[in-house]
């Protein structure tokens, strides 16, 4: 019994590296700023940094961690916003089981999280 469990776990471990091909671990997010188009933004997500001008569509790795967005435009006050990551619907029970068996394999658990599809940035004009 222990040998079977070990073999299944090793098979799972070795195939987890290929999971990105089969599982949707990325998400495309649309960023808009109705009052400040062409604002310069920096997005920090899961150890990665993305620089872009709004409006934009950015593809990021899904993660259970929140993202930090900072946008600035001449004549406007710099805006900073935390973008929350949340569990997809019906994923909470599944993820607890997956993380139990694959606590060291972050790729598997990424598919259960998502960010908002559209992020609106509000930049306030300076006085």
Other beta carbons within 10 angstroms of residue 13's beta carbon come to 13
| Mean per-residue pLDDT, 40-61 | 95
In the prediction, which pLDDT does 61 show?
92
The CA-atom distances, in angstroms, between 37 and each of 27, 56, 72, 102, 127 are: 23, 10, 10, 43, 19
In the prediction, which pLDDT does 87 show?
87
Per-residue pLDDT of 55-103, as tens digits, reads: 999 999 999 999 999 999 999 999 999 999 998 765 555 555 555 555 4
Higher pLDDT, 16 or 86: 86
């Amino acid at each position: 019994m222990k040998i079977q469990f070990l073999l299944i776990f090793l098979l799972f471990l070795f195939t987890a590296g290929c999971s990105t091909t089969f599982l949707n671990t990325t998400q495309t997010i649309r960023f808009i700023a109705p009052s400040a188009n062409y604002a310069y933004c920096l997005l920090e997500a899961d150890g990665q940094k993305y620089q872009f001008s709004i409006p934009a569509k950015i593809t990021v790795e899904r993660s259970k961690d929140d993202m930090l967005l900072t946008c600035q435009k001449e004549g406007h006050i710099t805006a900073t916003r935390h973008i929350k990551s949340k569990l997809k619907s019906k994923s909470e029970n599944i993820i607890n089981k997956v993380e139990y068996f694959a606590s060291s394999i972050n790729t598997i658990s990424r598919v259960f999280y998502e960010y908002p599809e559209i992020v609106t940035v509000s930049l306030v004009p300076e006085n």
